[in-house]
Structure 1
Amino acid sequence: MRIRPAHPEADADALWRVLEPMIRAGDTYTLERDMSRADALAYWLAPAHATFVAEGDGEMFGTYYMRANQRGGGAHVANCGYVTAAEASGRGVARAMAAHSLEEARRRGFRAMQFNFVVSTNVRAVRLWESLGFDVVGRLPGAFAHPTMGEVDALVMYRRL
């Protein structure tokens, strides 16, 4: 597997193929479930985001973006969003992207990484982040309207780099 910077034009179709199922499911991100392809790509490839793709054998396995979590006094803390293609689940893609993002964040001068809104029912993601040294530093009771489970908690997770 290779992780490289995304190319907005050349990768658009493959990015949409990875992003659309996550958006339509509506169970891990606070994005509108009816979000258009154009709006989803504009969000994922926003100018403030450094976007990467994980690929192999001519297929995109996943993607992540990195940005400063806040401006000014909070700009030394990175924030990321990750999506693994459904067909690549269980193959170490998320872990590889997470490891890449931690190294990339250090290389870019970030001193910590924070996830502002990890849906508590996304157990695999929570377990992965904890295995990589992230701590739950906050819990937002009922903050996420899960499409099948109703209101569930969202977690704030943090790690120094």
Structure 2
Amino acid sequence: MDIQIRPANTDDANAIRDIFREVIQDGTSYIFARDTPDKAIHTYWFAPETKTFVAEDRGWVLGMYKLMPAFPGHGAHLATASFMVAPGQQRRGIGTRLAEHCLIEAKKAGFRAMLFPYIISTNEGSVSLWRKIGFTTIGTVPGGFNHSELGFVDTYIMFRTLEDIPD
């Protein structure tokens, strides 16, 4: 596998949409409805304030993330991000590569820290990844996600400073 991470462009829109649809289909790991319109998906990944990156192997998009301010104005020094890896490509280190790349890009963009306000507690792969790269859980929202199989499950608020990320 020869994974490259690069800025996304409009040529990636269909692959991003397809991965998005695959990931949200089971209703266990993302807040989006299964019938999210294509235009909403495109806006989500290509909004003006968003920097989107893809992981690809020999021209095939395997996953992606978007980086953006968590808040406007006086909170704009905090970044947030959203990640997806194609279901058939998970558990191959792609999420870790994307996450590490994101930390570097966030630091380069001038962010001081990253805040993930909505991490689903039952998404063990996601929770484990964020903890592995230095995020801590700073809060819990009881019953914050309506899981398609388990009903209402908690969500976590996770945080990490970027002080230790090289410039």
TM-score (norm 2): 0.93
Q: Tell me the residue number matched to 1:78.
A: 79
User: What does residue 165 of structure 2 align with?
Assistant: none
Q: Does 1:122 align with 2:123?
A: yes
Q: In the aligned structure 2, how far is the partner of 1:34 from the partner of 1:112?
A: 33
Partner of 2:104: 103
Give 5+ residue unaligned stretches, structure 2. 163-167
The one-letter amino acid paired with 2:33 is E
Identity of aligned residues (%): 39
C-alpha separation between the residues in 2 aligned to 1:31 and 1:113? 22
| 1:90 matched residue in structure 2 | 91
Please state how far the C-alpha of 1:80 moved relative to its aligned partner: 0.2
CA distance in 1, matches of 2:49, 2:149: 32
Query: Once the 2 structures are TM-superposed, how far is the Cα of residue 81 of structure 1 from its aligned partner?
Result: 0.2
Per the TM alignment, residue 44 of structure 1 is displaced from its structure 2 partner at its CA by 1.6
List alignment gaps of at least 5 residues for structure 1: none
**Amino acid aligned to 2:7:** P
Supply the distance in 1 between the matched residues of 2:109 and 2:13 (Cα, whole angstroms): 25
Deviating more after overlay: 98-107 vs 50-59: 50-59
Partner SS state of residue 25, structure 1: coil
TM-superposed CA distance for 1:29, in Å, is: 1.7
Answering whether residue 57 of structure 2 is matched by residue 56 of structure 1, we say yes
1:69 to partner: Cα distance: 0.3
Paired letter, 2:156: L
- Counterpart residue identity of residue 17, structure 1: D
CA distance in structure 2 between the partners assigned to 1:72 and 1:13 by the alignment: 33
| Shift of residue 38, structure 1, vs aligned partner | 2.2
Q: Post-superposition shift, 1:21?
A: 0.9
Q: Secondary structure at the match of 2:81?
A: strand
TM-score by length of 1: 0.96
- Give the AA of the match of 2:154: D
* Contact 1:23–1:35 under 8 Å retained in 2: no
Q: Does 1:20 align with 2:21?
A: yes
Asked if 2 retains the 8 angstrom alpha-carbon contact of 1:63 and 1:82, the reply is yes
Distance across 1 between alignment mates of 2:34 and 2:45:
15
Cα distance in 2 for partners of 1:160, 1:11 equals: 30
User: 1:160: which partner in 2?
Assistant: 161
- Tell me the distance in 2 between the aligned counterparts of 1:20 and 1:38: 13
